[in-house]
């Protein structure tokens, strides 16, 4: 670590929690890149294919800075990502889309849920780490594309809306379960949410409010797509 490293990192448990968080976000970006690249094969037009590939490229572009920060903290980026490979791969296996539109919903709604969760945790971090995470989670400009494609498809086939609404609900349930499981399995992340002498923590009521906010943002995304949540 450098001389400019915040005092918070003198707490080994805090440092471990940040490494865990950067590791899971970095592997999440790699997973999103892989999934979107695969989804591009389902694109009905060349324009759609290029749009999805551009989304994938934007996701992968975030990985380098996350890995740089992990190295600055004295961690091996690949070792930091390793604990999250199996649970995230399992999540994507459980939620593999069956068609182009399910893939779009997952890219917009599923990734949005995960990013909301990480943003909530980032609020309890030192400013430098928080800003890095928020920058890594910035929307890559694909929201308008997804909303346009899904709304047009629903207008052309109203039955599609019911199926995609159910898909969105399933994604939410799986994503929240995954987030809770990852946090519970990593002692440092659990301790981070509990707080410390130099930073606030979350009690059960605050955790409940956090998941309420995530649920509300999910409902807003579904509404933008023209789907019920």
**Under 8 Å CB-to-CB from 219, ≥6 apart: which residues?**
229
Q: 211 exposed, middle or buried (CB, 10 Å; 0-12, 13-18, 19+)?
A: middle
Range of the domain at 162: 9-224
In-domain check, residue 30: yes
In-domain check, residue 2: no
Averaged over successive runs of 10 residues, the pLDDT of the chain (229 residues) comes to 64 88 94 90 93 89 93 95 92 91 92 89 88 86 88 93 94 86 77 62 73 92 90
Would you state the structure tokens that stand for residue 25, as one six-digit string? 């976000």
Structural domain tally of the chain?
1
In-domain check, residue 3: no
Are the C-beta atoms of 77 and 71 separated by less than 8 Å? yes
In-domain check, residue 143: yes
In-domain check, residue 173: yes
In-domain check, residue 1: no
In-domain check, residue 85: yes
In-domain check, residue 175: yes
- CATH number for the domain spanning 64: value is 1.20.1260.10
The predicted model scores a pTM of 0.87
Q: 112 exposed, middle or buried (CB, 10 Å; 0-12, 13-18, 19+)?
A: buried
């Amino acid at each position: 670590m450098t001389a400019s490293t915040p005092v918070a990192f003198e707490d080994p448990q805090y440092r471990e929690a940040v490494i865990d968080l950067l590791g899971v976000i970095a592997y999440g970006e790699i997973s999103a890149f892989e999934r979107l690249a695969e989804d591009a094969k389902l694109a009905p037009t060349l324009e759609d294919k290029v749009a999805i590939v551009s989304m994938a490229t934007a996701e992968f572009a975030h990985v380098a800075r996350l890995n740089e920060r992990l190295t600055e903290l004295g961690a091996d980026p690949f070792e930091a990502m390793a604990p999250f490979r199996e649970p995230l791969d399992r999540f994507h296996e459980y939620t593999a889309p069956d068609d182009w539109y399910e893939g779009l919903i997952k890219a917009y709604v599923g990734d949005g849920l995960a990013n909301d969760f990480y943003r909530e945790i980032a609020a309890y971090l030192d400013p430098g780490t928080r800003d890095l995470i928020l920058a890594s989670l910035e929307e890559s400009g694909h929201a308008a594309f997804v909303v346009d494609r899904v709304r047009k498809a629903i207008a052309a086939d109203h039955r599609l809306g019911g199926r995609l609404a159910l898909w969105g609900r399933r994604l939410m349930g799986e994503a929240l379960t995954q987030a809770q499981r990852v946090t519970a399995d990593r002692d440092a992340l659990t301790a981070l949410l509990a707080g410390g002498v130099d930073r606030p923590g979350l009690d059960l009521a605050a955790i409940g409010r956090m998941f309420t906010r995530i649920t509300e943002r999910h409902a807003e995304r579904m509404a933008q797509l023209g789907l019920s949540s």
